[in-house]
Structure 1
Amino acid sequence: MNLFVARIALCNKNVGEILRHGGGVKGVIDFTPSRPKGWNLSTGPTLWVVYQGIDVYFYVNETKKIVVPGYLYGKKKMENGTFIVDGNGTCVIAFNGSDIWFSGGM
């Protein structure tokens, strides 16, 4: 089961970019984060990745074999890269062909 979930997540470009820039896979877990009222309340298998001491979680829909952005995070393509934004539209992670940034470094 864990290998199946990991394979799905590792095919996702966002996961690949974090790993390419030095992130490491910690494992596959069943994870339910705390979140504001009105956000996605689903739980499920999650690929846990750590990048520069920051935990990043990628939820996987096993039936559709995709990483689920849900309502927790969305993706915006911009001229200077790809931005992962939270429910308020605040950039959490950004990357382009050569760099990756987290909200504290943007």
Structure 2
Amino acid sequence: MNTAPRTSGSAVASLVFGVLSWFALPIIGAILAIVLGHVARGEIRRAPPGTVDGDGFAIAGLILGWAHVVIVACGLALIFLFFGGLAFFAHYAF
């Protein structure tokens, strides 16, 4: 009896939270996408070959989550550098 492999629920959840991190749940969605993506990839790797599928979903969730974290971190760094520069300028200009 040959059955089709099941799709990992963690992989699907990772993809869903990765997409939601860009629209509805900015930071929490990205963190959940990253965690669930790693959980899903471990689950798929440990399962007997051909029984659990969804590695593409997990990778997509990881990419979306990490991309969101990187963009938010760069944005925060730019904000702090901008306002730090303003404070420096205001302090020494007057």
TM-score using structure 1 length: 0.20
Which of the two has higher C-alpha Rg?
2
Structure with greater helix percent: 2
Q: TM-score, normalised by structure 2?
A: 0.21
Greater share of strand = 1
